[in-house]
A and B are shown apart, each in its own frame.
Chain A
């Protein structure tokens, strides 16, 4: 009788250890081999996109750009001036695409190859102050030598646009969510795409609930 209770306790203990050792979501990231090695804030892998996914995609994108032959302005050492156009979130998740773009901007700026203008953007300037301070030109209160003069802003050479697309497919009794990170840098003068990038992050997991 006692040994029976002992076995029961042992089984419960093993069960508890087994449960704590497993992820509860059952979702795995198929694309980023280093996903689970990154520090985790939420702990679990989910069907959604988290900072690890954005970090992975941004790194791949920056690496791709810096290895592109057009990442340097032809015949010059001056950096490209880049405007951030629309990065469309075409998924079922409420995400801010700046989570991707900001990481790229930091790396590109530090590379010395690209500077981003905040005075021009697809939905208006990111920072309206550049234009606002020019309203001070008529003001006696300001030393006019310190007010930005006419013709001092620099127009962009490149425009960064893109899309994050999501496709969900059933795979047996599981579902797979594929996220396509697509980016393009367009030479504004010619309208030609100078750089193109695509990276896919695939996540496989239970087909119990919608992925959002």
Chain B
């Protein structure tokens, strides 16, 4: 018997309608992020960084949804600018925990979204997922935060993380672009229609192609690797006495930058000189200038026709448009030791962000067009179905049609408060420890450096009306007064070595001619008693091992060069399979009491088929007189 189904419950009609209704409700998380950022941006652009952070994170600036990546990024940077480095670190920690994916996790667009990367396009249903370059910058900022609170160990960890992210960026970007370009079956079914529409939209003189050309004109950083992070890492390694590593990192920065930045080149020369000489690198001061406000995305609506069997259907898509950032001061002037310096840009953030944006943009446009074609065809199907149905169906159909236009909103979220550019200057530490920093508009800032061999001065300027913010981090060691006094003798990049102590300071004992110690004779005293089975009372062997092929166990003992008892043995694995044995020495003192030591922990030895394997143990103390050895099948310990 044929069932009678009300018109509005017709499966085909319901499917199309529900798809369209589902599309119509998207945008919740994304719009909330966008609205939140708008309130944040006002005080940030005025240089009131703490007030900006409070708009998102409440009184302590950290009271927000910890899983909201965009908020963590914005708050982290604002707190850093406000000098609240510890709180900034908390925000960046939260952000980092959501950006840990590597390439093998991604096989499809769904994997990409699940792993936590933003798809530029209509992705407003989801919370912001970040970009690959966001991850590198998070660790870079965390490293600088750590330096500002004097935590050298943490800075090293963060710089190592940034380095690994940089190394993976090219692979991650390739995977991201590939995932974005993957077609879904519904779109493949309409490929002819999609291709025809795409060709129309991507005409060279069209609005989309022109915008893409503008992004292309910004250039790119090869391998999505930013030179500033490498340079900062190099500076850190130079300050911690690792000049070889510093030299490699400075070289990376110089190559990535195309040898435009004179200061990075000078640092490379200093590091090379230090790597080839003896002693520390000469004292230096590094100035990092974060200038202006970085790039952002705006919505760009594009209208076109989709050809269907019922004729052309008017459609529209919303795409993000890349809008370059705005500079504030451009460069800083610095006067130190009577010499004038100017910062030079090392990271163009427009170019850096555009590298990732541009790589995926073609695929994004293709996906948006394909989606629009599918939606247009769905609209046709709904309209046809509605013709013969009742009032409920007409209502659903109306809602669905509204959904088509509502669904076309672009995801314009990005880490908008990055600087427009990061410039650096590198100079010898002035003898008087004073720097005059000029931002162009206000009076120069007179800064007295701390008495350390290296210092990192960070200056942030967001706009002409906003006051510059300056923070100083110390690196290297505290200088002795004599070294500070001698500093002017060191001519910047020549790589002379600072002598830490005067000859007069050297004591008589120190100046006596050094005598190489005679290496102790390396000899061992064999203690094996005449009986070949002397060890049998002291060794227990698991029967399971014997069943599995252990044969011909032999033991020797001796005193090592310094008199400690050393016991070694070997056995033959008769079987055709690998034999894994666990063994443990229990060392006994003269009274027969066990001596507790990590040298008595379980160890594991593998014996290959029909081969011998060796066991070795060293007594933990001189007074060890005897031992016990247990040999078990390793499987018993699992």
B102 engages A207 (CB within 8 Å):
yes
Whole-angstrom distance from the CB of A178 to the nearest CB of chain B?
A: 13
> Does the CB pair A69–B520 fall under 8 Å?
yes
> How far apart are the CA atoms of A209 and B606 in the complex, in Å?
31
Tell whether, in the assembled complex, residue B637 and residue A206 are in contact, meaning their CB atoms are under 8 Å apart: no
Q: In the bound complex, do residue A107 and residue B562 qualify as a contact, i.e. CB atoms below 8 Å apart?
A: no
Q: Do A210 and B102 touch across chains, with their CB atoms under 8 A apart?
A: yes
Query: Judging by beta carbons under 8 Å apart, are B605 and A33 in contact?
Result: yes
Interface positions, chain B 580-616, Cβ under 8 Å from A, are 580, 582, 595-599, 601-606
A55: chain B residues at CB < 8 Å are 598, 601
Q: Indicate with 1 or 0, residue by residue over A48-82, a CB within 8 angstroms of chain B CB atoms.
A: 00000001001100110011111110100000000
- For residue A135, CB closer than 8 A to chain B, the reply is no
> If the complex has contacts A66-B620, A69-B520, A206-B104, are A113 and B562 also in contact, measured as CB distance less than 8 A?
yes
The answer for the CA separation of A64 and B605 in the assembled complex, in Å, is 18
Q: Using A55-B601, A113-B562 as known contacts, say yes or no to A37 and B582 having CB atoms under 8 A apart.
A: yes
User: CB within 8 Å of A: which of B309-331?
Assistant: none
- Would you call A24 an interface residue if the criterion is a C-beta within 8 Å of the partner chain's C-beta atoms? no
Find chain B residues with CB under 8 A from A212 CB.
100, 161
Bound complex: CA of A94 vs CA of B160, how far in Å?
11
Interface check B90, CB cutoff 8 A: no
Interface contact B562-A71, CB-CB below 8 Å: yes
| Cα(A58)–Cα(B580), bound, Å | 23
Within 8 A of B (CB), among A86-143: 88-94, 103, 106-107, 110-113
Contact B560 A38 (CB under 8 A): no
Q: Are A63 and B618 in contact (CB under 8 A)?
A: yes
Q: Closest CB of chain B to A131's CB: distance in Å? A: 19
Nearest-neighbour CB distance to chain A for B250, whole angstroms, equals 18
Say yes or no: is A173 at the interface (Cβ < 8 Å to chain B).
Answer: yes
| B548 contacts chain A at the CB level, 8 A cutoff | no
Tell me if A27 is interfacial: C-beta within 8 Å of chain B. no
Measured between alpha carbons, how far is A55 from B157 in the docked complex, in Å?
22
Chain A residues in 8 Å Cβ range of B485:
none
Return the contact of B599 from the options A36, A63, A175, A187 (Cβ within 8 A): A63
What CA separation (Å) do A136 and B389 show in the bound complex? 98
Q: Which residues on the A side are within 8 Å of B596 (C-beta)?
A: 110
Q: Verify A91–B100 contact, CB threshold 8 A.
A: no
Question: In the assembly, what is the distance between CA of A212 and CA of B562, in Å?
Answer: 41
A89 to B634, CA, bound (A): 32
At the interface, yes or no: B103 with Cβ under 8 Å from chain A?
yes
Residue of A nearest to B623 (CB): A112
Residue B522 is within 8 A (CB to CB) of chain A in the complex: yes
Closest 6 CB pairs of A and B: A34-B604, A37-B637, A33-B604, A207-B104, A208-B105, A72-B562
Contact status A36-B638, CB under 8 Å: yes
Contact of A107 with B597 in the complex, beta carbons under 8 Å = yes
> Is B100's CB under 8 angstroms from A209's CB?
yes
A90 touches B520 (CB 8 A): no
Q: Does A168 contact B (CB under 8 A)?
A: yes
Asked if B620 contacts A92 (CB within 8 A), the reply is no
What's the least CB distance linking B175 to chain A, in Å?
Answer: 11
A112, B595: Cα distance in complex, Å: 12
The answer to the question of B165 belonging to the interface, with a C-beta cut-off of 8 Å to chain A, is yes
B284 within 8 Å of A (CB atoms): no
Q: Which residues of A have CB within 8 Å of B516?
A: 190, 192
| Distance between Cα atoms of A154 and B104 in the complex (Å) | 56
Checking A36, A63, A88 against B156 with a beta-carbon cut-off of 8 angstroms, the contacting residue is: A88
Residues of B within 8 A of A70 (CB): 519-520
How many whole Å from B158's CB to the nearest CB in chain A? 8
Q: Which residues of B contact A88 (CB under 8 A)?
A: 153, 156
Contact-residue size bin, chain A (C-beta under 8 Å from the other chain): 35 or more
A166 within 8 A of B: yes
A107, A175, A190 — which one has the most chain B CB atoms within 10 A of its CB? A107
- Asked if B217 is at the interface of the complex by the 8 Å CB criterion, the answer is no
**Bound CA span A33–B317, Å:** 58
Which chain A positions have C-beta within 8 A of B100? 209-210, 212
With a cutoff of 8 Å between Cβ atoms, the chain A residues found around residue B520 in the complex are 69-70, 72, 74
Residue of B nearest to A63 (CB): B618
Q: Which residue numbers of A lie inside 8 Å of B, CB to CB?
A: 32-34, 36-38, 55, 58-59, 62-63, 66-72, 74, 88-94, 103, 106-107, 110-113, 166, 168, 173, 175, 187, 190, 192, 206-210, 212
Partner of A166 from the list B160, B599, B605 (CB cut-off 8 Å) is B160
Give the CA-CA distance A36 to B606 in the complex, in Å: 14
Q: How far is the CB of A85 from chain B (nearest CB, A)?
A: 13
Q: Which residue of the partner chain B has the closest CB to A209?
A: B100
Known contacts A36-B638, A175-B102, A207-B104: does B157 contact A110 (CB below 8 Å)? no
Q: Report if B563 contacts A (CB, 8 A).
A: yes
Q: Which one of A37, A94, A106, A111 lies within 8 Å of B157 (CB-CB)?
A: A94
Q: Report chain A residues within 8 Å CB of B595.
A: 110
Least CB separation from B560: chain A residue: A67
Q: Which of B161, B621, B638 contacts A37 (CB 8 A)?
A: B638
Say whether, besides A36-B638, A66-B564, A93 and B105 are in contact (CB < 8 Å): no
Give bound CA distance, A187 to B522, whole Å: 19
Q: Report A55 CB to chain B, min CB distance, Å.
A: 6
Contact assessment for A110 and B597 in the assembled complex, using a CB-CB cutoff below 8 Å: yes
Residue from B104, B165, B522 whose CB has the most chain A CB atoms within 10 Å: B104
A112 touching B621 in the complex, CB below 8 Å, given contacts A37-B604, A168-B164: yes
Q: 13 additional contacts, CB 8 Å, given A32-B604, A59-B599, A212-B100?
A: A34-B582, A37-B634, A69-B519, A69-B520, A69-B522, A72-B562, A111-B622, A112-B622, A190-B516, A190-B517, A207-B103, A208-B105, A210-B100
A90 to B164, CA, bound (A): 13
State which residues 418-475 of B face A: CB under 8 Å.
none
Q: Which residues of chain A have C-beta atoms less than 8 A from B566's C-beta? A: 67
| Residues of A close to B571: CB separation below 8 A | none
Q: A69-B562, A90-B156 are in contact. Are A210 and B597 (CB under 8 A)?
A: no
B-side contacts of A111, CB under 8 Å:
564, 597, 620-622
What does the 1/0 interface line of B508-523 toward A look like (CB < 8 Å)? 0000001011111110
Hey, which chain B residues are within 8 Å of A90, CB to CB? 156, 160
| Interface presence of B101 (CB below 8 A) | yes
B554 at the interface (CB under 8 A from A): no
Report the Cα distance A93→B560, complex, angstroms.
Answer: 37
Which chain B residue lies CB-closest to A123?
Answer: B152
With A91-B157, A166-B160 in contact, do A34 and B603 touch (Cβ < 8 Å)? yes
